[in-house]
Amino acid sequence: MSQKKKQEQLIEQIGLGIEGNLHLSPLAARIYALIILSSEEGLTFEEIRAIILSSKSSTSVNINVLLQLDYILFYTKPGDRKRYFKLAKYSSLVLLEAYLDGTDMEMEMVEKINDYNRNYFPEKFTNEESVGQIFESYLEEKKQLVERTISKMKEFRESEKKH
């Protein structure tokens, strides 16, 4: 298959995956997918438009959403007004940090639910109540895993700076 065809196909697939998971608009998700599948050089506004076939306005809005979220970044070349958009090197760190917030919220919620139920429906907590316990330790481990991964990435980033 040609690169172009393969790229189109992957943009479609990855776009759909991203859209649901990351709560981005379909267009933002496709632009993000395209940038993930691009060279270190980056792509210009018009290059993106030519591949995705989107209007200037929507492209502008959605690129800015991705910039705002730190999923992508841009640089410029001297004597060239165009912006070159590329994947933020630590975009996966940004993602994990957002995910950690979600995990914290999830844990808070479970705690509130347990408080409420323990208070008003103590019968729910009579015996060992193990399904809930298994789930809670799962949440705890997941949080620790995410935190550990974030630390590793930050360490790596620091070690890079020193060179």
Partner DNA sequence: TTAGTAGTTCGATAGTTTACGAACTAATCG
Partner DNA sequence: CGATTAGTTCGTAAACTATCGAACTACTAA
Shortest CB 24 distance to DNA, Å: 7
| The binder of its own copies chosen from 37, 61, 67, 69 (CB under 8 A) | 37
Partnered with residue 84 across adjacent β-strands are: 44, 75
Based on the shown chain and the rule CB under 8 A, indicate whether residue 50 belongs to the binding site for its own copies.
Answer: no
What are the φ/ψ torsions at residue 2 (nearest 5 degrees)? -70, 155
Question: Considering beta carbons, is residue 56 or 89 the nearer one to its own copies?
Answer: 89
Q: Which stretch binds its own copies (CB under 8 A): 49-57, 66-74, 75-83, 107-115?
A: 107-115
**Nearest partner of 74 among 84, 82, 65, 64, judged by Cα:** 84
Find the farthest-apart pair of alpha carbons in the chain and give their distance in angstroms, rounded. 73
Q: CA–CA distance from 84 to each of 40, 50, 62, 76, 96 (Å)?
A: 10, 14, 15, 6, 25
Q: Which two tokens stand for residue 147?
A: 């935190």
126 to 145: interface string for its own copies, x by CB under 8 A: ----xxx-xx--x--xx--x
Based on the shown chain and the rule CB under 8 A, indicate whether residue 94 belongs to the binding site for its own copies.
Answer: no
Q: Which two tokens stand for residue 108?
A: 């808070």
Q: Using CB under 7 A, list all residues that contact DNA.
A: 25-28, 44-46, 53-64, 79, 81-83
d(CA 87, CA 144): 27
Residues that bind its own copies (CB under 8 A): 3, 6-7, 10, 13-14, 17, 20-21, 23, 36-40, 89-90, 92-93, 96, 102, 105-106, 109, 112-113, 116-117, 120-121, 123-124, 130-132, 134-135, 138, 141-142, 145-146, 149, 152-153, 156
